[in-house]
Structure 1
């Protein structure tokens, strides 16, 4: 009997937004908007389920709320099945190497969504996997979060520009390339994976970034180099300071994140001292001189030392819960692109 040899195609992955052009990212955001419209306004029986019969392995080394819910509900929306595999469920990093796990898991599923620790882990998974790998978070990048941020910013300015009444969803009528260029983001906080993903995504989309981080909490040099090169091409600006007020000046959007990430609990006392003066408050924003219609974003979970209640729960300024919801639709768009269409 003669065997059949099929040459396996190298799968496409979603490891960081740095790997994609501005048009690819903005089209992903636009597709996310379409999925949101479908989810909110299309009868369930009329929604196409292109991933029926397909399985996504959800490998999480770290706990998650938004990313896990968004991933599992996205696969259900697309008609597929999400198989959650936490650190207590499989041998990953215990009795089996990452390389072996990648090869075994990818042989039985159609895609892998992985939330890891070191960025080298997601790179190894992608290298050894025979199916698409999506980075659900590493210590260097968090791409699906930043797609949701781009989507949220677009929605805010689309609705404002078009006088859309509150409660009406119509942010799909404009493409994000029409709303995002020319905006300025102020980052106030740690030089962490969120800021690093912002730096490799926002400037290439024409969004300026001013980052305020305490001394010693800086970003990786390769990330800075990418941001500066992208900004030079689009006319955006990228600046760094240790003074929050300097970053906030003339900003449209103010973003922060946790100062103490998972795995950094032992550093908490020192970090709280180092980040003194970095809590986002309306007083800080006024002293910095943000634009009159500034908005606030945070990827959650939030701690009070990062931003006070007045800003965080401000119904007109804070878009944090809209931002959280949008995790679902951007992850839907990424999963659909890779597992259904085959590429971003």
Structure 2
């Protein structure tokens, strides 16, 4: 069952906060955001209108292009009664030498919140330090916390909760891996990462996840064995082998990661009712085969839709 928490108390704690990485939040705060996302989705599906951000404006700064992040945030703020402004860094003074600090101070006078999708976690952190408005990490090379909110919302919908669920991740130890590890440890999920030796998660993130897991009872494992990770898994998760900015490494990565492909043989090692997840976009035939991607146990499009509802919950909690 989903964890029950005191909503008024937690809601007060979240107002005006930044959302840069999951470790900045408590277990109860994470649970509250997921409960609010569930409410947002049910209200949306019923046709009920709720506009807690009427008159509010969200700035959306992109240094990395996107489909799901831009559309889900822009549609989400609109559904909440607010307005989203798309900002391409190359078309701003930020791209011509204005400092991050100066940009943050200027934007704080124009909008009620900022979502930033960029390469550097330090850039998002510097922006938040100098802004007087909530700043949301839409993705960096280190973390992707918004995606994990949608992922966990999806798992709760299907599995009825998070604690005790085993998630197995296959592929690069990247921003998704980091955020999944921290989120799983916080919520009591077990997580097993299978990545090639030279592509495993940052050691500092592994240690942080293990420390959090010590309090939650979560099991955190990192190995180079896909077969070991898949055993008794409730969730099979993968991501592209070469992320944005790594295109020159594509051919090398294809060879290195070939044994980590999610296919029928690997999936058969998981529990019979395991689900398949992918943060998308997927490169069919590389990290996952089409029969798994399109199979009856795939929930990738439910997962993608939940980006909208999870981010509406996040914006409401921080900006209303």
Shorter-chain TM-score category? over 0.9
Shift of 1:22: 1.3
What are the ranges of 5 or more consecutive residues in structure 1 without an aligned counterpart? 1-9, 159-178
The answer to whether 1:51 aligns with 2:56 is no
Matched, 1:310 2:286: no
Q: Secondary structure at the match of 1:83?
A: strand
Cα distance in 2 for partners of 1:240, 1:94 equals: 42
Mapping 1:255-274, distance limit 5 Å: 255-274=237-256
CA deviation after TM superposition for structure 1 residue 204, in Å: 1.4
Residue 313 of structure 2: aligned partner: 333
Mapped contact 1:29–1:151 kept (Cα < 8 A) = yes
Instruction: Write the mapping of 1:177-326 to structure 2, written as runs, cut at 5 A.
Output: 179-286=161-268, 289-304=269-284, 305-314=286-295, 316-326=296-306
How far has the Cα of 1:110 moved from its partner? Answer: 0.6
CA contact (8 A) 1:61 1:117 kept: yes
Matches for 1:5-154 after TM superposition, within 5 Å:
11-43=16-48, 47-154=49-156
Count of matched residue positions in the alignment of Structure 1 and Structure 2? 305
Compute the RMSD of aligned alpha carbons.
Answer: 1.2
> 4+ residue runs of structure 1 moved beyond 6 angstroms?
none
Compare CA radii of gyration and give the structure with the larger one.
1
Show the counterpart of 1:172: none
Q: Is the 8 A contact 1:245 1:285 kept in 2?
A: no
Where does residue 167 of structure 1 map in the other structure? none
TM-score by length of 1: 0.87
Q: Which has the higher helix share?
A: 2
Q: Which consecutive unaligned segments of at least 5 residues does structure 2 have?
A: 1-14
